[in-house]
Amino acid sequence: MATVDVVIPVYNEQHSLPRCIATLWDFLSENIADNWTIVIADNGSTDSTLEVCQALALQYPKVRYIHLEQKGRGRALRRAWLETDADIVSYMDVDLSTGLEAFPKLVSAIKEGYTMAIGSRLLPESRTTRSPKREFISRAYNLMIKVMFWPSFSDAQCGFKAMSRKAVRELMPLAKDQAWFLDTELLLLATLKGYRIKEIPVAWVEDPDSRVHIGKTAWEDIKGLLRMRFLPLPAVVPYKD
């Protein structure tokens, strides 16, 4: 039986977090036979998110939290993934925009030997509901990745990913981003190193209350792509468990 960490990065999510944990806890209890843990990663919240995390950790078995003083989704994932001994690490967005029915497929893919397993909103089997603006920006960004790196995956930005512990230990020290670009950076590092990536079709519904600042995030992502395209990458140091 594998151990699986499900990380939920949060910033000022005091209102949406209880619903997220209740829904996710019920789903994992009914659908995942492995030894799973939900890890809430509070990165620099200024509202009552930390107090909500503390209450949820007391209310639910298999729920714990970490608190970072600095903001940054990438920073939160980095800490949560590097400090665990779980066989499989994963994350999803607190709004649960991605349908949870795809999550067991992520876990199964890692068990089958894939380095990473990711949800994709751009596969033919996927079902996506989002605004024309978000659709255009997402497709333009992924087209840029395709032109610059020619990867096997179609959707770098879906907040629904899993990795093996070995992959985290090898790739995370090479990644530099502390914010939204980190998971794209890890995907591209895995691609450039020839690691196996499994893409899973998902159902996805846009959250109108998203904390993502699209313009700023898109610019930071573009700078990250240019850095990875034109600066030399360090070699992977093999991880021995």
Mean pLDDT score, 193-197: 92
H helix or E strand, kind and range, residue 35? strand 35-43
Of 220, 122, 114, 212, the closest CA to residue 177 belongs to 220
The domains of the chain are located at 3-230
Pairing mode of beta strands 160-164, 35-43? unpaired
- Rounded to whole angstroms, the Cα distance separating 201 from 59 reads 33
Structure confidence by residue, pLDDT tens digits, 92-150: 999 999 999 999 999 999 999 999 999 999 999 999 998 888 888 888 998 999 999 99
CATH topology of domain 3-230: Spore Coat Polysaccharide Biosynthesis Protein SpsA; Chain A (3.90.550)
Q: What is the mean pLDDT of the chain?
A: 92
Query: Are the C-beta atoms of residues 52 and 17 closer than 8 Å to each other?
Result: yes
Structure tokens, 165: 């512990």
Q: Is the pLDDT of residue 156 over 80?
A: yes
Asked whether residue 211 carries a pLDDT value surpassing 60, the answer given is no
Whether pLDDT at 82 is above 80: yes
Query: Side chain identity at 170, as an amino acid letter?
Result: E
Of the chain, the percentage scoring pLDDT greater than 90 comes to 77
Q: Are 198 and 114 in contact (CB under 8 A)?
A: yes
